Amino acid sequence: MTSPDTLPPRSRIVHDRLAEAGIDARILVLPDSARTAALAADAIGCHVGAIANSLVLVADGEPILVMTSGAHRVEFGVLAGQIGADTVAMAPPAVVRESTGQVIGGVAPVGHPTPLPTYVDEDLRGFDEVWTAGGTPETVMPLTFAQLVEVTGGRLVRVA
């Protein structure tokens, strides 16, 4: 585990938000980028389904955060139906950065300038521990499924 004082600035923000929520965060700095679920799972040594990808999407023109299992892709039509949106699409990189303060591949579930409406893939509940980005593409952290839902205020949805 890396000391919070030596974490990248964005990861320190994530650590602090988790600590404020009563979660003792273990943010790990990986030697290489873990921008994809497969890279993260290989680096951590876990099942790809236990990787909780943080996707910033745009639903009816507004950014949302979707925490989805790395085992599958989000089907926009299915998600739109689950959240009552007319349209859902990938957010452009500028919207991701503006909405979260973080870059694609490193978006954590918390630590954003303003919390985003968050939806959590119900398939993640099948794992005792899920791994999310820690604020940069090189940082990851484990959370329980319950912690992920609680700290994000996320609503459970089907995404595929």
Q: What digits encode the pLDDT tens for the residues 109-127?
A: 999 999 999 999 999 999 9
In this model, does residue 2 exceed pLDDT 70?
no
Distance of CA 66 to the CA centre of its chain: 7
pTM, two decimals, is: 0.93
Residue spans of the domains in the chain: they are 4-157
Residue labelled with tokens 């290489």 = 32
Q: pLDDT class for 1, splitting at 50, 70, 90?
A: low
CATH number for the domain whose boundaries are 4-157: 3.90.960.10
Q: Report how far residue 130's alpha carbon sits from residue 141's, in angstroms, rounded to the nearest whole number.
A: 8
Least reliable range by pLDDT among 5-14, 36-45, 114-123, 151-160: 36-45
pLDDT, tens digit, 9 for 90 and up, residues 65-87: 999 999 989 999 999 999 999 99
Q: How far apart are the first and last CA of the chain?
A: 34
